Structure 1
Amino acid sequence: MASDSCGLEQLVAPYAVDEGVETRLSLGQGWLRRWTTAWRFDGEEVIWALRDLESVPLFRSQLVRRFGWGTRQRHRPGLQFMVSTGRHHGFESLEEQRLLLALDFLRVREVLPQPFRLSFEHSEGRAEHIPDFLVVMADGGRWVLDVRPRALVGDADELKFAATGELTTACGWRYAVVTGWRPHVWSVLDALSAQRRPVDDPLGLQVELLAAAKEPVAFGDLVQATRLPVVARAHALHLIWHGRLAIELAEPLSDATLVSAGARRDA
């Protein structure tokens, strides 16, 4: 799992909706017309059928449901700054905040929280679901994401997740339910994120680090190869976050971690 070239699907723990749940969805003739999505523009909701979603001006849309703050609520909402977008983005839980940090690491183009309300048909009637995020990746691909700890996923949630999966398949988008992270991913990203913002390098330590990483080298030896190893540690983390150096994300970050030239070495 190379840090400079991994994708979202490699970072999150695998999760799949039970196949039996999908049989409860009403996917007969004309379902792309009957299933609808509600988007908000200038404070007003506008309805689009699934068959017409390509015409939605995504970047002009607003939250279809606003976040709430209260003294007795059990979840923790807030705002997370993302270097890749240059803005703050809302989240409703610590799990969602972690996802935003991971998306920032992947250098996404845009993140839209609470983007739309899906209204879909199933064997017992009709239901609605508001996904947590709609994400435009660096390559232009679109992901719809829901965040829910695995232990909290119930039968009603699985039905909504299955319906959202059908929506994204019909649109050519991708969908994931983030229930957790692969081993060591979150701890490594958390450590790297300390140096994700722009940093000044008046001593030219980044040039020294890039030169020392022409061949794979242990992190401890890499920083020792510079004039100021203590300062170089911060710059090394910054270069790894931005893909100019690369490490293996599936292992703990330590002085023994191998560091190599990243795909964005000359960025």
Structure 2
Amino acid sequence: MSTTFPVVRDALRHDQPLPRYQPEHNRPALWSAQARWTDVVIQHTVPERPGLPQGWGYRWTLTYRHGSLDRTAPVAVASTADLLTADPVRVNSWHPKKTSRAGLRYMHSTGRHHAHESLFERKLLCVLDFAGAAEVVSQPFTLTWHDGTRERHHTPDFLALIDGQVIVINTRPAERLNNRLLDDAAALGEVCLSRGWGHALVVGYELPAYTAIETVETHARDHDRLGYGETILDLLRVRGPMEFAAVCHSVDGHLVARAILQRLIWERQVSVDLNRNLEDWTLVALPNAEVAR
């Protein structure tokens, strides 16, 4: 007896094509060595929240945790240093009936594991890792605020320190956005504006950019005991930009060279166009020798 997966059956029933990645060949080049994390994510514009009452910065509070001790401080005077060293205010858990997949992900930029409450959040940790985030805190605090009618509570997903800038980030797939989250995000945006922090609501990831980053990350910790990395860099200095496969085949032990080349991309020592699929004919260049495609 043949079995048809529900998603396929539903798509056929409604005469809708299955979702597929459609490359946009006219996109400008996005070279990985210069790419920022905001180039890889899709953000939702959060509207401003007008008419905040006078003195709201001292009535709205942030509650964060250090070990087993919870601390609460007004938004206006909460210590950024304390928030960046806080523990998650929620404990992640997983059970067979839970639809999201919580867990831990190792980040090379911080040298530690960080909690995520879904695979969508896990993807963001990969992007922040590629961006070289110096610090990341999962579920860093709970914002207690008042919407004019009632008191509300909101816990953002991440607090990150990237290039010296503190950024508070919420993540939610675009199809799961709702008014409650948008209201919370608007209030959080005012908090960040008052403190000089950045704020983002991530609703998706750019393809194929995210796929390329996730692919090269698998080799980020590979050891280069034979010095292939320096050989590849010398080759690119002499010959200029080359195709991915050509670089690897120019080095003895090209199978190992492929892994080391991907590590160099992750470390931003060489650059590829993230707006194109990472394939054998992908152009590889030194950061100062990138060319237009």
Q: What aligned pairs does 1:185-264 form with structure 2 within 5 A after superposition?
A: 185-202=209-226, 204-214=227-237, 215-262=240-287
Q: Which residue in the other structure is 1:6 paired with?
A: 35
Q: Which runs of 5+ in 2 are unaligned?
A: 1-29, 289-293
- AA in 1 matched with 2:232: L
Contact 1:54/1:171 (<8 A) preserved: no
Q: Which runs of 5+ in 1 are unaligned?
A: none
1:132 to 157, 163, 187: 157
TM-score in terms of structure 1 length: 0.90
Deviation at 1:118, TM superposition (A): 0.3
- 1-structure distance, mates of 2:165, 2:215: 27
2:124 to 84, 88, 99: 99
- 2-structure distance, mates of 1:54, 1:42: 17
- AA in 1 matched with 2:178: G
Percent sequence identity is 30
Matched, 1:58 2:58: no
- 2-structure distance, mates of 1:52, 1:65: 23
- AA in 2 matched with 1:3: S
- 2-structure distance, mates of 1:60, 1:150: 30
Deviation at 1:249, TM superposition (A): 1.1
Secondary structure of the structure 1 residue equivalent to 2:65: strand
Q: After superposition, what is the alpha-carbon deviation per residue over 1:125-179, rounded to whole angstroms, capped at 9, x for unaligned?
A: 2211000111112x22111111100100101110011111111111111111111
- 2-structure distance, mates of 1:181, 1:103: 12
The number of aligned residues is 257
Secondary structure of the structure 1 residue equivalent to 2:105: strand
Contact 1:53/1:171 (<8 A) preserved: no
1:154 to 178, 191, 211: 178
Secondary structure of the structure 2 residue equivalent to 1:179: strand
- AA in 2 matched with 1:223: C
- AA in 1 matched with 2:168: V
Matched, 1:15 2:40: no
Q: After superposition, what is the alpha-carbon deviation per residue over 1:19-62, rounded to whole angstroms, capped at 9, x for unaligned?
A: 3x724xx5121111111111112312211111102465234422
Q: After superposition, what is the alpha-carbon deviation per residue over 1:50-99, rounded to whole angstroms, capped at 9, x for unaligned?
A: 11024652344221121122232111111111111111111111101111
Deviation at 1:191, TM superposition (A): 1.1
Deviation at 1:5, TM superposition (A): 2.0
- 1-structure distance, mates of 2:70, 2:79: 17
Q: CA RMSD in A?
A: 1.7
- AA in 2 matched with 1:181: Y
Q: Which residue in the other structure is 2:58 paired with?
A: 33
- 1-structure distance, mates of 2:199, 2:235: 40
Matched, 1:176 2:205: no
- AA in 1 matched with 2:255: V
1:76 to 98, 101, 107: 101
Q: Which residue in the other structure is 2:20 paired with?
A: none
Q: After superposition, what is the alpha-carbon deviation per residue over 1:169-216, rounded to whole angstroms, capped at 9, x for unaligned?
A: 1111111111111221221112111101141332x2211210122222
- 1-structure distance, mates of 2:260, 2:151: 53
Secondary structure of the structure 2 residue equivalent to 1:3: coil
Contact 2:84/2:159 (<8 A) preserved: no
- 2-structure distance, mates of 1:193, 1:84: 12
- 2-structure distance, mates of 1:14, 1:91: 19
- AA in 1 matched with 2:49: E
- AA in 2 matched with 1:206: G
4+ aligned runs moved over 3 Å, structure 1: none
TM-score in terms of structure 2 length: 0.83
Larger radius of gyration: 2
Contact 1:38/1:117 (<8 A) preserved: yes
